[in-house]
Structure 1
Amino acid sequence: MGENIIEDDDYVMYYLGKTKGQLGVGFLVKKKYKANITTFIGISDRVCLLEITLEKHLFAIIQAHAPTEGSSQEDIDIFYDDLAKAHAPISTDNIISMGDFKAQIGKPKQYEHSVTGQYGYGARSTRGERLIQYAYENNLKITNTIFNLKKHRRWTWKSPDKNTKNEIDYIMAASNN
């Protein structure tokens, strides 16, 4: 619990969690890159930001863990407000936003190809609409949809009864390179 940095022989873990055994976000970084980390900001137990220099390029990485489908609209709004707070201090165009967004974007629409590729999985949910909006607002490309993977390789979540599969985890990127 809390916001902390833990080191062992090989890794440094940056994390933030406020409720024991629930939620929490963080980064596990190889120790040899520790000196390359310029910023770690825990926004909430659902969103954090790490800035790191690699190969002379600064990257901002946002880790996200969205509220569940049964959460209130207020919880969703707070989550996206926290994502906006994570973008505010970023000092680079090299951005990766990733995590469990609990959104289904489904098959992208033709006019959405500036933020998606042409491949998606399943049907779009209301949360998927919100994720597309987030991608537009932050000039991010949803990389999961760029490659034509076989359908059995597209889903990222399976229901406990193993009958339902959805793509709800995403990696989005923006770059000036």
Structure 2
Amino acid sequence: MPASSSVAAAIAEQPAFSPYRGERHLPGPDVTTPEALENFIRDYTMTIYHPVGTCKMSHDALAVVDDALRVRGIAGLRVADASIMAIIINSNVPTIVIGGKCADMQLQEVDYKLKKELWGFRENHMAVRFEYEYHDAAGQWWRAYGNELWEFAPNGLMQRRFASINDLAIREDERQLR
């Protein structure tokens, strides 16, 4: 932690940040040696609240996860912690509930398989076709399929996403993704 704190401080001291940098408060200007920094970190570091707001949950272009806590664009990965919450809650109970709900959802989507195909792209737009299959805890197989259109901002980040998704109950012998 002292090494990363020193790097962060060195970055903040660069001339390019001068117009935005105010007076240094913590650690104060008297913390000048590695030993003093380590003592400061030991004395002032604490855990408080669960970090929130770093993994937006929604269906819009800025969302990191969908309403089933699946990370967009990475098959098989979910986020099940407080980072999906929009505001800080002074309790760990919501985080425990999120984890439990995620476990329940994972049990509902057994043998999940995803396939995405690039349809085309032009300038700052990309179109993809996708389908995925899974079965729920009762053994019912499902296929979801659809199309997505992604629009990217000049900085390369996705700024809009449109999706059309259809869910269809299927028999196990109708599976196409294995």
Could you say which TM-score interval applies, normalised by the shorter chain? under 0.3
* Higher-Rg member (1/2): 2
Higher strand share: 1
The alignment's TM-score, normalised by the length of structure 1, stands at 0.26
The structure, 1 or 2, with the larger RCO (C-alpha pairs under 8 Å, 6+ apart) is 1
